[in-house]
Amino acid sequence: MDLDPVLLSRLQFANGSLRDQTVTSTSADGRSQTVQADINGDGLFDHVETIVIAANGSSVDTVSTFNPNGSLNNKTTTTTSADGLTTTKQIDLNGDAVVDLTRTLVTVRNADGSTTTTRSDNNANGSLRDRIVTTTNASGLSTTVQADVTGDGIVDVTTTDVTVVNADGSRVETVTDRNTNGSLRDQAVTTTSADRKTIAVTRDFNGDGAIDQTESVNQLSNGSVVDTVSDLNPNGSLRDRKVTTTSANGLSTTTQVDRNGDDVFDLTTTDATVLNADGSRTETVTDRNADGSLRDRTVNTTSASGLSRTVQRDPNGDGTFDRTVTDVTVLNADGSQTETIVDRNVADNSLATAPSRQRAPTGGPSPSRATRAAAAGSTRPKPSPPPPMEPSPIRSPTSIPMERRATARRPPSAPTAARASSIGI
């Protein structure tokens, strides 16, 4: 098949040497596209992707990653039906031309408007590795997920996520995990007000029917948000509590911690950032004890360009900065970067450490991240091509913290439409 046109994208270093290049070829009828990428400028293609759209509208997307010697490292072939409801992904993880994992994703639209999506992972020998069946009702307010995490044909965990919309516009979402025998594993109930400014969550982590944790999130009239998380003992008494208040602009946060449930905040931390007129910013983090006395303080000032940073530390709360660290990065004419970190004792201005590092013009970390790279004594390598999708075994819902599941769990998404749109078909 004739390929036309060809798009070439090249990036070069300041000295003219090749940094990386991408060659994109599209067939005359627009139904085939090949993208070849040399990510390290050695003249060899490290990553090749080919997308072919068949006459019936189905698509085959093949992604291959190669070793420096040109041999295949891994390969993923994805076939998607014309309607986007069926996807088969075949993965060769080690480039031996053997499919190590086959993942199928099939969505069925039921007569009542609900959808059922089945995701199955099969091993190289065709045996079932795991399976997830997700059913979502027509309104999208109720979802049931049945997970066979071992591939033995038995549902290990059933998760239901049901949302009720009340007459006043508020919502109550109940997420429940049940074991194979139907017993309760854990549950979270989230109530959200009609204006979305108040959220209340109760969590039962172990399925004993008792509430182990409560959380409330309230947006105040000034735009600030107060998030209160309380852990409870089995008898319902308070175990500990954390209250986090964030300003409307996000530049100021105050966190109060009651470690033992005696209704006294043992530690209060404030983190306030000031945007200065010259474009720099100053962040001050302060810890205070229960009696309000200063425990420690850190002041971090970053220049507008992000190339200069000064950190002052008072680790013992005596009101005096004991250490000052300056971190300055210079962008040299040849494209390299020189970063100098100086750590001084404030009392006598003596030098604690003064590492200075110079990087070649490799398009390394941005100035805002240079400090971490230099402190670790290493430079950031150029990004490597993304590997093919790893065969991630289905995790039991109990392996995911209930805090995350209660507020962030959503039903697995349906398969995406055919990749035809990615090449303008």
The SS3 of residue 136 is strand
Q: CB-based burial of residue 418 (10 Å sphere; 0-12 exposed, 13-18 middle, 19+ buried)?
A: buried
Contact 191, 175 (CB under 8 A): no
287 confidence band (pLDDT: 50, 70, 90): very high
213-221: which pairs have CB atoms within 8 A and are 24 or more residues apart? 213/402, 213/403, 215/403, 215/407
- Choose between 189 and 382: higher pLDDT: 189
- Choose between 111 and 379: higher pLDDT: 111
Q: How far, rounded to the nearest angstrom, does the alpha carbon of residue 421 sit from its chain's CA centroid?
A: 26
pLDDT tens-place string over residues 50-90: 999 999 999 999 999 999 999 999 999 999 999 999 999 99
Q: CB-based burial of residue 186 (10 Å sphere; 0-12 exposed, 13-18 middle, 19+ buried)?
A: buried
Residue 62: predicted pLDDT: 97
- Choose between 10 and 421: higher pLDDT: 10
42 confidence band (pLDDT: 50, 70, 90): confident
pLDDT tens-place string over residues 255-264: 999 999 999 9
pLDDT, mean over the chain = 85
- DSSP label at residue 419: G
- Of the chain, the percentage scoring pLDDT greater than 90 comes to 74
Cα–Cα distance measured from residue 4 to residue 29, given in angstroms and rounded to the nearest whole number: 9
Residue 424 has pLDDT above 90, yes or no: no
Domain boundaries, the chain: 1-98, 280-287+294-359
Q: How far, rounded to the nearest angstrom, does the alpha carbon of residue 114 sit from its chain's CA centroid?
A: 30
pLDDT tens-place string over residues 362-402: 444 444 333 333 333 333 333 334 344 343 333 333 333 33
Token pair of 281 as six digits: 């910013």
SS (H, E, C) 218-282: EECCCCCEEEEEEEECCCCCEEEEEEEEECCCCCEEEEEEECCCCCCCCEEEEEEEEECCCCCEE
Cα–Cα distance measured from residue 336 to residue 154, given in angstroms and rounded to the nearest whole number: 58
Token pair of 220 as six digits: 């105040």
How large is the average pLDDT for residues 198-211? 97
Token pair of 364 as six digits: 């390394």
Cα–Cα distance measured from residue 110 to residue 112, given in angstroms and rounded to the nearest whole number: 6
- Of the chain, the percentage scoring pLDDT greater than 70 comes to 80
Token pair of 132 as six digits: 């997830």
pLDDT tens-place string over residues 153-171: 999 999 999 999 999 999 9
How large is the average pLDDT for residues 325-342? 93
Residue 420: predicted pLDDT: 33
pLDDT tens-place string over residues 216-226: 999 999 999 99
Residue 117: predicted pLDDT: 98
Cβ-Cβ contacts under 8 Å for 47 (sequence gap 6 or more):
35, 36, 37, 39, 63, 64, 65, 66, 385
Contact 103, 121 (CB under 8 A): yes
pTM of whole model > 0.75?
A: no
Ramachandran region, residue 209 (left: φ > 0; alpha: ψ -120 to 50; beta: rest): left
